[in-house]
Structure 1
Amino acid sequence: MTIHSTPPASQTAETTSPEAVGRVTPMMEQYLEIKAANPGLLLFYRMGDFYELFFEDAEIASRALGITLTKRGKHAGEDIPMCGVPVERSDDYLHRLIALGHRVAVCEQTENPAEARKRGNKSVVRRDVVRLVTPGTLTEDNLLDAKANNYLLAIARARASSSAGDRVGLAWIDISTAEFSVTECGAAELGATLARINPNEVIVTDALYSDPELSSLFRTLAAVTPVTRDIFDAATAERRLCDYFAVATMDGFGAMSRLEATAAAAAVTYVDRTQVGKHLPLSPPAREAAGTTMAIDPATRANLELTRTLAGERRGSLLDAIDCTVTAAGSRSLAQRLSAPLTDSTTISHRLDAAAMFAEDSAARDDLRGILRAAPDISRALARLSVGRGGPRDLAALRDGILAADKILDRLARIEKLPRDIALAVDALRRPSRDLAQEFSRGLADELPLFKRDGGFVRASYEAALDETRNLRDASRLVVAAMQARYADDTGIKGLKIRHNNVLGYFVEVTAQHGDKLMTAPLNTTFIHRQTLAGQVRFTTTELGEIEAKIANAGDRALGLELEIFDKLCAQAVTAGDDLRSAAHAFALLDVTTALAKLAVDENYTRPVVDNSLKFSIEGGRHPVVEQALKRDGQPFIANACDLSPGPSQSSGQIWLLTGPNMAGKSTFLRQNALIALMAQIGSFVPAKLAHIGIVDRLFSRVGAADDLARGRSTFMVEMVETAAILNQAGERALVILDEIGRGTSTFDGLSIAWASIEHLHESNRCRALFATHYHELTALSANLPRLFNATVRVKEWQGDVVFLHEVLPGSADRSYGIQVAKLAGLPAAVVARAKSVLAKLEAQDRGTTARALADDLPLFAVPSRAAVEPQPPSAADQLAEALSAIHPDEMSPREALDALYALKAKLPK
């Protein structure tokens, strides 16, 4: 994309004259002064209809945006690089720069060029930075993901005698919705907390940013901004918070620790500075107590693909599978729930009660979803209005939100008894003033422009002075129309037109063949030549100039009155902000609740029992994401049971040791049970026939393999780090799923690590766990570990191929069927045949000795012809023996046994 960024000279008082080349012009002096005051940010310097960038900023932006790099004048004997973007399209370019991690200072003209010229022809138009645009301080809809929160997070740390004992305070704000939360945790829990909040920008002190212990963590975050120490000054934290919220003391907002207050003060100070004088009304900081949500570390979130797949996409994640919301606010609220499942069984029960009511009452559910689907995003509209970035449609959104609240209240009034959560939502929906909605309805026109600067958004008859000014403006336009008709008659030129553009204003236009007539006597005394084009000639008259001035004055006056009305309505909206935000929260709650009810009905989910026990019993459990994918392909999902509850004489949950071949569904089974527990604790029905979940306080997953080369970690090292975190942190209430621990190293090393890990989980962690493995030797541990239960995924082997049945049964697998899976994957027949031969010898003898003996026999360096290694067809006796070895009589029904007997008979030589 190429953009020519130099504005016309008529749009600005500053131009680069030949005399100025080689020295710094007053305009460039102004630029350098403003740039020096905003280091580390790209400066969008307003010049007429463009934002210009100079020097290094221009070079960075031209590469990032793919726009042309030009030059303007010289500095220190060198050309000054320059590029620019049109003001009208600046949001698109801001979005791209912010997405790439840049921060931008927006510098506007605070006076027009005509005002500057009054101070002298060479006076520089006054400019000032009106806003700092950073990833965590966005409010515009086109810069935000409607379905995701945009958090700015501040981290304050208190050092202890050892780094393990450090404490951190966290405060996070979404300025687009005014949400504000704080919490405190140990330094060891920082990674999990950051993964839960998922901030778009993090601010820290320079010292914390440079801390080598945290550098690897910061690299995983979207944007980390180091700031000066004064922003995190603990001594002034409470005063700054009081000043921001205009209160004498913070006691009314609840108790906050010193660290939490320091982080909260840093967050509001940063917001205040980036908004440059525009005060954003925030909700009071809500404190999250430790242990109120399920702790999920970053690796587990990634492995379970809660909100994003491993490829970084929303599609295919759990959130995508269960999100049936109809509003952006509801989708954001569901994502918050999924990121932070509750650990309080009472609150979970209230959520389930609400979902159950709407699952049973389909009429109420559908009616409410229909109303909500048309409801606006109140909180984001209010935030834009609060900082002066809103438009007439944002005012209309608040009006429509209040009207939608009335419709919802009318519908809920028909329900005899409301669950607790829905009753609280009703109270919130009653809070906004209906007079405010009436005032907005009376003042706003039916058709509204996007920007207030366009005018025409105030309804006729709302303000008498505005009506009078509009009439004067419109009457002047009628005078222009009459003037055009008179000029056409006086000149005899039927095609004469009076037109208007932003450069010339009003002008008389005729075709080129009539231009000479107007430039000769006597008409040249009336018509003054302005411009000659290829096919037209343009003129003006003294009379037309006088009328134009009247029209311009009337138009400017009308727009000025409209903007005054807009500011008045905005002030009313901001005053009612707390009530409007409460209603917005109620909309989101109702949307999430009705969406989860619809999900339960459509997908045949059941209400789980969630209590404070250590139960973990699931009957007919399914994987919510995989099931939907199979359903789209017309295939059924095989449901399975899982019971990790303590036995009759046991005080801790069980560990299931799951064996079976690859592709049999072990990983799916592990994940589905973790997801069922997580869904239950967000207050959702679950994909199962029955589910009884004792509160899970920490969820751990070690499933899948990936390296971390940026941190110098191999796949096996990553596996061991994640396993170490589980073994060091999991407690009795934790749920752990582990898949193939120890497979990244030698067989005996890996077996030993897996063996010791199971013993540690059983004896020290005493948690509920699912452990999938190919090490069949581990099944022997069940004889000595009373809470270890062997389970396997059922398969069938038929004529050398393996058939996956995806059923989980008690017992253990006697083999891994790896060669059969390799054959299905398409390995050459020669490789499959050789693998069978090697496996037979390894299983018949000691693995280590046989492996060394076979090394000399492996054809690594001589590649034989395909014919030489092509396996010969097995004899009838071999076929019969292979078929017999595949039969497992204890697992067969009478019918299956009879079929197998007929199949064996068919293999006998004729």
Structure 2
Amino acid sequence: MIRVGPRLVFRGFRSLVKPRQVVRIPLNIRAPLQSIQACQDKDQASLEETPREAKGPKKTGKRIKKKTVQGDEIDEFGDRGAKPDVEFTYFYQTLKDIVDQYPKDQYVVLIQVGSFYELYFQQAEKHASMLGLTLSKRVLKNHEISFAGFPDYKLEKYLQIAFGQGLKAVVCDQHTTAQNVIVRPVTRLVTPGTIIDEALRDYHRTNYLLAIQFPADPFKKDALGQKIGLCWVDVGLSQFHVLETNMNELMANITRINPSEILIANDLDIDSLITGKWFPELGELKKYYISRYSLPSVSTSLLDFANRFSENKRLVQSRLDKLSLKEAGAAKVLLHYLNDCLPFYKLSFDLPKRSLPNTLMHIDPRAAQDLELTETIVGGFRTGALASIIDKTCTVQGSRLLNTWLLSPSTDVEEIRKRQRYIEVFLNNRMFVQELIQLLRKTTDLGRIVRRADNKRADMGEYLELGHTIMIIDEIYKMVKDCADKKLVNLVLPLFDKFKEFPALMSLSQSIINTINPQTLQVKIDTNRNDSEVLRKYWFLKPTASPKLAELRDKYDQLELQFQALTQQLSAKFEKFGYQGGFNLVRDPRTNDFVIDVRSSRKSFKSLVENMDLQLRERTKSSAKFWTMEWQTLGTEMLFVEQEILREEERIISLIRETLLSLSTELRQVAPIIEFLDVCSSFYLLAWEKGLVKPTVDMSTKFEIENGRHLVVEEGLRGRVTGVENFTANSCSLDSGRGWVITGPNMGGKSTFLRQNALIAILAQIGSYVPATKAHIGIIDKVFTRVGASDNIYRHQSSFMVEMNETAIILRDSTERSLAIVDELGRGTSAVEGITIAYASLSHLVKNKNCKVLFATHFGPEIHKLMKDDKDLERRTDFYQTTLTRIHDGNLPIDEKLIFDHKLIPGISSHSHAFEIAQLAGFPSDALELARKTYVKATSGL
């Protein structure tokens, strides 16, 4: 396990597994719908034999609390006092066999015992302190066993802590076999990329597991051009992606995939890989959670995993045969890893889909970070990133799609124009879009529910959401068809072609809605009744769900009337014999007898016993339990009918689930309707609220922006406490082989100008309108950034080395369709060397690569002077500057003396106003005065 970077902490989460969720295992265990099973648990306990531990070990010993043990106190056996030759009972030996399989420095093993998850032996010694648990000892005859634990409903919390420490989690859930024996198999290995617990993930974003198949010897110099296989999936959804790439494109592809976990082979020198010694770009891998894997046996065929796909074996084989060797290798590794991690979890993926990188803009990791597309540089927060400003989606799947587009903008002009047409017709039909958004808000994530239903994890509330979502898609279809704007109808209606091909989906929807009772779904199961109550308060399904269920419900209603009549009858008799207290007809949870629970004085008890045909079963100072054959007979019949109703409800839900799964392919094909309309609606809202314009996007090489703005900075200015401050818009006009050199004071807006143009290009190519008054953008294939600098101690590189690595990538990989923004290149070395490196880089990009370049620098005068010897470069380069005005008024504070004009004007700034900025930053006056005097001496040649 390689623990690298902040990505170990997961990005937001929502609940995925309810406490004590049953995972299906091959032991002929019934796995009924959880919501129904939860209601049956208490009653079934009275009808079945209590489950027993395998071999039935007797409980011995006692628990002794002990202080948390420090790491240096752990002996080589991990369990002080437990020697290698100690014989354990069958129960503890079984636990120890599991624990010993997983190295404690890589795994935390969580074993469910009753309503707790517990750690044992060396696992408890190693991880109790890290998890914040109390380490305890259990004394067994002549030795002790270390253990620690927590309630099962807190599982997600402790999984998050384990992930944050770079650990994988081994979960052993407790189950009861058909022979009524308790077993605890390893049901799953939980890693960041194999999460099935909804509390541990955010469905607004994808949660990809990525496998990388490197060349056999990737560290040879000629390996740079060799093929690399990629395969990635989201286990909570259904898409299965493959791609063959090369080393130069690898990190850009990883950036757009944005995986939560990366699989890399054990036999690869991981240190050379992630430190960037061999290939500098791969140093970015350290930001990701990396797991190592052993290659599957050569005898293992990719077709052996055909059951992991939703289509029949013939179609699966046909698609798998079309994969390249590297794609197939990565796919086999990934599927093998999933088999190890989720042996009992059903994964039905769509057929492998090959990603087409030539239709997507190349954004490398540095560019995605510098531009803060999905998270901020400082803190990694979503708030303050571009995604937080432009994401106005109202569904999780829509937000997920928007994030995908943002990291992989399109280079397909027709696809971009199609998205623009949606925004255009939506702007002309605002009332229609408002109704559309209200409907979209009521939909659910179809792909997620299908996956959960496939694993018997979906509850009836989710089934009902799915049914309503299908109805809403049909309602949207009718709304589109009836729209008066024929342009909108002709554009949007084809989206529903697949939906109208599947009438069975509407039948499924009607069946679900006519079956499940929505009024009971919000009520907690525990409120239905307590352990001793008999009368049921509500049911999950409507009585009309089936003729048999209607008959049973009628029968139960009649028994309920008899229950009320018996209550009234007993009340009258009690009153007749002088009993004025309350009573309840209940079932004794200990004996399972149906009794009358009476609470009153000893005198009243005596009167009841003497005058009524009641048997006293239990008596205390203030209460007593009486038994009567009439209530025993009625209660037994009520319980029997209830069990029949629950079994019928389970059968009906099982039929719905089977129908749903038979239509899973159709459901997955119509799900994109929701997410696409949601993103286009989001683009419409963004354009309307922010005053965006439709850019012209074509295959030219132009890049012309009039009065462009930076959406995030603009939003930040509006949110200032001191009031609204207008953002200064700036224009930009570039073409292939053209460069702009931007000079001016610090805080003059140079970096903002560079970034805003890159963001406008990205927004245009995801299909959005852009923040400008006019824009014409020829397709950009790659966006590069060289912004800021920092030491990279992890890779033993200075800030200047990092700067040169990043610049080398731009100089090597840019094309005439690329946009490069370069900020303050050459600051990390001497002034003369920095100037010459900056000049050479600009010249290479403009003349050799014909790239579009925005180049911010404080070396403007020097670069301009050097260009006098290269007329071609001088002709291709324009110089612009921002300015600063100083008000000479001793009564004004420094922040009011300096007026920044962020408007770009032609020219070269000869002064960076460093002393004024230093004073504004609070530089000590004596130090500042010394700096001024020293500057005079330095510039005068002294």
TM-score by length of 2: 0.80
Could you tell me whether the CA contact under 8 Å between 1:618 and 1:642 is conserved in 2? Answer: yes
- By how many angstroms is 1:486 displaced? 5.6
Counterparts of 1:548 and 1:813 in 2: how far apart (Å)? 93
- By how many angstroms is 1:329 displaced? 0.9
Task: Give the letter for the 2:227 counterpart.
Answer: R
Counterparts of 1:73 and 1:205 in 2: how far apart (Å)? 43
Counterpart of 2:292 in structure 1 is 226
Counterpart pick for 1:108 among 157, 173, 184: 173
Could you tell me whether the CA contact under 8 Å between 1:12 and 1:48 is conserved in 2? Answer: no
Counterparts of 1:568 and 1:471 in 2: how far apart (Å)? 23
Task: Give the letter for the 2:934 counterpart.
Answer: V
Counterparts of 1:346 and 1:498 in 2: how far apart (Å)? 72
- By how many angstroms is 1:747 displaced? 2.3
- Change beyond 3 A, Cα 1:272–1:551: farther
- Change beyond 3 A, Cα 1:558–1:104: farther
Is 1:797 matched with 2:886?
yes
User: Which one is further off, 422-431 or 341-350?
Assistant: 422-431
Is 1:614 matched with 2:701?
yes
Give the alignment's Cα RMSD to 1 decimal.
3.5
- Change beyond 3 A, Cα 1:332–1:19: closer
- By how many angstroms is 1:623 displaced? 0.4
Q: Deviations over 1:447-484 (max 9, x none)?
A: 24379999932211212333344455555565555555
- By how many angstroms is 1:136 displaced? 1.9
Q: Deviations over 1:165-207 (max 9, x none)?
A: 3422111111222122111111233222212111112223322
Task: Give the letter for the 1:780 counterpart.
Answer: K
- By how many angstroms is 1:338 displaced? 0.1
Could you tell me whether the CA contact under 8 Å between 2:744 and 2:881 is conserved in 1? Answer: yes
Could you tell me whether the CA contact under 8 Å between 2:416 and 2:766 is conserved in 1? Answer: yes
- Change beyond 3 A, Cα 1:475–1:518: farther
- By how many angstroms is 1:620 displaced? 0.6
- By how many angstroms is 1:144 displaced? 2.1
Counterpart of 1:865 in structure 2 is none
**Unaligned 5+ runs, structure 1:** 117-123, 646-651, 851-910
Counterpart pick for 2:515 among 443, 453, 462: 443
- By how many angstroms is 1:805 displaced? 0.9
Counterpart of 1:262 in structure 2 is 329
Task: Give the letter for the 2:431 counterpart.
Answer: A
- Change beyond 3 A, Cα 1:157–1:781: same
Query: How does 1:42-441 map onto structure 2 within 5 Å?
Result: 42-59=108-125, 62-74=128-140, 77-86=143-152, 88-98=153-163, 101-111=166-176, 116=180, 125-159=182-216, 161-162=220-221, 163-208=223-268, 210=270, 212-214=272-274, 217=283, 220-230=286-296, 233=298, 236-241=301-306, 244=309, 245-248=311-314, 250-252=317-319, 255-310=322-377, 311-413=379-481, 414=483, 415-418=485-488, 422-432=492-502, 433-441=505-513
- By how many angstroms is 1:140 displaced? 4.4
Counterpart of 1:780 in structure 2 is 865
Q: Deviations over 1:818-840 (max 9, x none)?
A: 11111122223333333222223
Counterparts of 1:779 and 1:194 in 2: how far apart (Å)? 39
Counterpart pick for 1:32 among 84, 96, 107: 96
Question: Kindly, what percent of the aligned residue pairs are identical?
Answer: 31
Counterparts of 2:88 and 2:610 in 1: how far apart (Å)? 51
Counterparts of 2:314 and 2:301 in 1: how far apart (Å)? 14
Query: How does 1:637-716 map onto structure 2 within 5 Å?
Result: 637-645=727-735, 652-716=736-800
- Change beyond 3 A, Cα 1:632–1:254: farther
Question: SS at 2:519's partner residue?
Answer: coil
Counterparts of 1:234 and 1:497 in 2: how far apart (Å)? 68
Task: Give the letter for the 1:566 counterpart.
Answer: I
User: Which one is further off, 341-350 or 442-451?
Assistant: 442-451
Q: Deviations over 1:270-318 (max 9, x none)?
A: 3344443443222222111232211111111111100000120000000
- Change beyond 3 A, Cα 1:537–1:42: farther
Is 1:839 matched with 2:935?
yes
Task: Give the letter for the 2:453 counterpart.
Answer: L
Counterparts of 1:457 and 1:49 in 2: how far apart (Å)? 26
Counterpart of 1:724 in structure 2 is 808
Counterparts of 2:206 and 2:489 in 1: how far apart (Å)? 27
Counterpart pick for 1:601 among 662, 680, 688: 688
Could you tell me whether the CA contact under 8 Å between 1:794 and 1:804 is conserved in 2? Answer: yes
- Change beyond 3 A, Cα 1:448–1:745: farther
Q: Deviations over 1:48-71 (max 9, x none)?
A: 333333234445664454344434
User: Which one is further off, 721-730 or 519-528?
Assistant: 519-528
- Change beyond 3 A, Cα 1:842–1:157: same
Q: Deviations over 1:693-740 (max 9, x none)?
A: 121111111112333222223333322222222222222221111111
Could you tell me whether the CA contact under 8 Å between 2:275 and 2:795 is conserved in 1? Answer: no
Higher relative contact order (CA 8 A, sep 6+): 2
**Unaligned 5+ runs, structure 2:** 1-19, 21-44, 64-85, 277-282, 529-537, 890-896
Question: SS at 1:447's partner residue?
Answer: helix
Task: Give the letter for the 1:591 counterpart.
Answer: D
TM-score by length of 1: 0.83
Question: SS at 2:359's partner residue?
Answer: coil
Query: How does 1:444-593 map onto structure 2 within 5 Å?
Result: 444-449=516-521, 456-473=539-556, 489=573, 492-493=578-579, 494-499=581-586, 508-511=596-599, 513-514=601-602, 517=605, 526-527=614-615, 529=617, 549-593=636-680
Counterparts of 1:107 and 1:524 in 2: how far apart (Å)? 54
Counterpart pick for 2:923 among 813, 824, 827: 827
Q: Deviations over 1:50-106 (max 9, x none)?
A: 3333234445664454344434454982323131323x4544544554565443344
Question: SS at 1:207's partner residue?
Answer: coil
- By how many angstroms is 1:416 displaced? 0.9
Could you tell me whether the CA contact under 8 Å between 1:518 and 1:527 is conserved in 2? Answer: no
Counterparts of 2:419 and 2:347 in 1: how far apart (Å)? 32
Is 1:635 matched with 2:725?
yes
User: Which one is further off, 129-138 or 692-701?
Assistant: 129-138
Question: SS at 2:544's partner residue?
Answer: coil
Could you tell me whether the CA contact under 8 Å between 1:431 and 1:583 is conserved in 2? Answer: no
Number of residue pairs aligned between Structure 1 and Structure 2? 824
Counterparts of 2:509 and 2:304 in 1: how far apart (Å)? 36
Could you tell me whether the CA contact under 8 Å between 1:528 and 1:541 is conserved in 2? Answer: no
Could you tell me whether the CA contact under 8 Å between 1:519 and 1:527 is conserved in 2? Answer: no
Could you tell me whether the CA contact under 8 Å between 1:153 and 1:172 is conserved in 2? Answer: yes
Task: Give the letter for the 1:840 counterpart.
Answer: V
Could you tell me whether the CA contact under 8 Å between 2:51 and 2:182 is conserved in 1? Answer: no
Counterparts of 2:123 and 2:160 in 1: how far apart (Å)? 16
Counterparts of 1:519 and 1:667 in 2: how far apart (Å)? 93
- Change beyond 3 A, Cα 1:371–1:753: same
- By how many angstroms is 1:395 displaced? 0.9
- Change beyond 3 A, Cα 1:359–1:78: same
- By how many angstroms is 1:750 displaced? 2.2
- By how many angstroms is 1:602 displaced? 1.3
Task: Give the letter for the 1:796 counterpart.
Answer: T
